[in-house]
Amino acid sequence: MHIDTLKNLAVDALEELKARDITQLDVSKLTEVTDLMLIASGTSTRHVAALAQNVVEKAKASGLAPRGVEGGDNADWVLVDLGDVVVHIMLPEARALYDLECLWADLPN
């Protein structure tokens, strides 16, 4: 699946369930693990889990099995690995603590 299609699928799944502050990071020049990271916030652990589940379900419906999901029903951070796109869904507190946007921005190209 083309990376733009994959990104749109994930963003649509997040927006459908009202994810907050969706951010896109192009990390293709910084790591070989993935090309794009999406970071979004949920309002509760239940919301974070529902957002992650929706991303997984939309991916599967499009014929793409996620490579992995880390975190669980009561997690403050769930990661959905779609290969070229990795989706981080976090509570605002966890997002502020780990500050992935700043972490990845500070790495040399």
Residue 95 neighbours by CB under 8 Å, 6+ apart: 21, 39, 41
pLDDT digits (tens, 9 = 90+) for 7-44: 999 999 999 999 999 999 999 888 889 999 999 999 99
CA angle 103, 19, 61 (to 5 degrees): 105
CA angle 100, 91, 94 (to 5 degrees): 45
pLDDT digits (tens, 9 = 90+) for 52-108: 999 999 999 999 999 999 997 788 999 999 999 999 999 999 999 999 988 887 655
E strand or H helix that includes residue 58: helix 45-61
